[in-house]
Amino acid sequence: MAIEVRDLSAWYRETQALKEVSLSFESNSVTALIGPSGCGKSTFVRCLNRMHEEAPGARLNGKVLVNGTDIYGRSMRARDVRQQIGMIFQRPNPHPLWSVFDNVAVGPRLNGLSRGSRLRELVELSLQHAGLWEEVKDRLGAPARRLSGGQQQRLCIARAIANHPQVLLMDEPCSALDPIATFQIEELIRQLKRDYIVVLVTHNIEQAGRVSDRTAFLLSGRLIEEGPTSELFSRPQKSETDAYLSGRFG
């Protein structure tokens, strides 16, 4: 399982947000995307699950190959791509009025993946994988808004997992959470990489250092540098990378 991005460029109307970015992602890995605000990290991941095209005036160029298949190919439906490539957003966004169970089950229900007792098993399994089962197993019917921020985000992770994706895109998943919840999610990410390709967008350099195997640094829509996290952090090859990592700008 691998993702290969070749010369990806993306625009919002006249503004170019990505300039010929090429990156690869291997299975069982966590890749962090770092860079200052507006560098195109979020745009990049939204191109991976074809959410970018939902924005008004959105255009893109280049290839995104998942296991050799171009997800933007003529015969590919956006919704099939999105089922394979799940996304967790910056602010937890479960449906506040729906129950915990219904929130996790929405993916399988929408895509007809399972129902009945198999659905219940799937929900339980997903919640366990997201590290939330113990905390909610007695209140699966409670509305999701009663959960804390960290719990809601793990609920969103469970929801994404329940849809049986191969890739998890996480767009700054901890930026709206407190440090303890952040710690829990980071632990979770380390476990998730056993089963998924994880692409983690983060503005928190230390988090990238803690959690990821590889890191890519973007600046103004361009990929400046990319490599194994430890090497990138200790021996950055480009001056911009060095400047960003040492906090000289951000």
Partner 1 sequence: MRRNGPDSFYPRPSVFLLVRRAGNLFAVVVTGLFALLAVSFLVYLILYVAHQGVSFLNLDFFTKTPAPIGGKGGGVVSSLVGSLLVVGLASLIGIPLGLLTGVYLAEFGRGGFAKSVRFLVDTLTGVPSIIFGLFIWIVVVVPAHSFSGVAGALALSIIMIPTVTRTTEEVLRLVPNELRDASTALGASPSRTILRVVLPSARSGIVTGIFLAIARVAGETAPLLMTAFGTPFFNTNLARPIDMLPLRVFTYTLSPYETQIHQAYAGSFVLMLLVILASLAIRWATGGFRRRR
Interaction of residue 89 with partner 1, rule CB under 8 A:
yes
Is residue 231 a contact partner of residue 201, using CB atoms and an 8 Å limit?
no
CA distance 170 to 229: 17
Q: Look up tokens 């129902």; give the residue.
A: 115
Interaction of residue 151 with partner 1, rule CB under 8 A:
no
How would you label 212-235 residue by residue, b for 16+ Cβ within 10 Å and e otherwise?
A: bbbbbbbbebebbbbbebeebbee
Tell which one of 1, 97, 142, 180 touches partner 1 (CB under 8 A).
Answer: 97
Tell which one of 13, 61, 67, 110 touches partner 1 (CB under 8 A).
Answer: 110
Tokens in use for 32? 């962090």
Collect all residues with Cβ–Cβ distance below 8 Å to 163 and sequence separation of at least 6: 83, 86, 107, 108, 111, 113
* Cβ 150 to partner 1 shortest distance, Å: 17
Tell which one of 48, 87, 208, 232 touches partner 1 (CB under 8 A).
Answer: 87
| Number of residues near partner 1 (by CB under 8 A) | 27
Single out the segment in contact with partner 1 by CB under 8 A; choices: 3-11, 50-58, 62-70, 215-223: 50-58
Paired residues of 88 in beta bridges: 170
Radius of gyration for the alpha carbons in the chain, expressed in angstroms and rounded: 18
Interaction of residue 163 with partner 1, rule CB under 8 A:
yes
CB of 72 or CB of 183, closer to partner 1 = 72
Paired residues of 131 in beta bridges: none
Interaction of residue 54 with partner 1, rule CB under 8 A:
yes
CB of 81 or CB of 136, closer to partner 1 = 81
Strand pairing class (222-228; 58-66): unpaired
Tell which one of 156, 167, 219, 245 touches partner 1 (CB under 8 A).
Answer: 156
* Cβ 46 to partner 1 shortest distance, Å: 9
Single out the segment in contact with partner 1 by CB under 8 A; choices: 17-25, 29-37, 73-81, 176-184: 73-81
* Cβ 55 to partner 1 shortest distance, Å: 11
Collect all residues with Cβ–Cβ distance below 8 Å to 40 and sequence separation of at least 6: 10, 17, 18, 21, 218, 220, 221
CA distance 34 to 197: 17
Interaction of residue 51 with partner 1, rule CB under 8 A:
yes
Interaction of residue 160 with partner 1, rule CB under 8 A:
yes
Interaction of residue 111 with partner 1, rule CB under 8 A:
yes
* Residue numbers at the binding site for partner 1 (CB under 8 A): 49, 51, 54, 56, 79-83, 86-87, 89, 91, 93-97, 106-107, 110-111, 145, 156, 159-160, 163
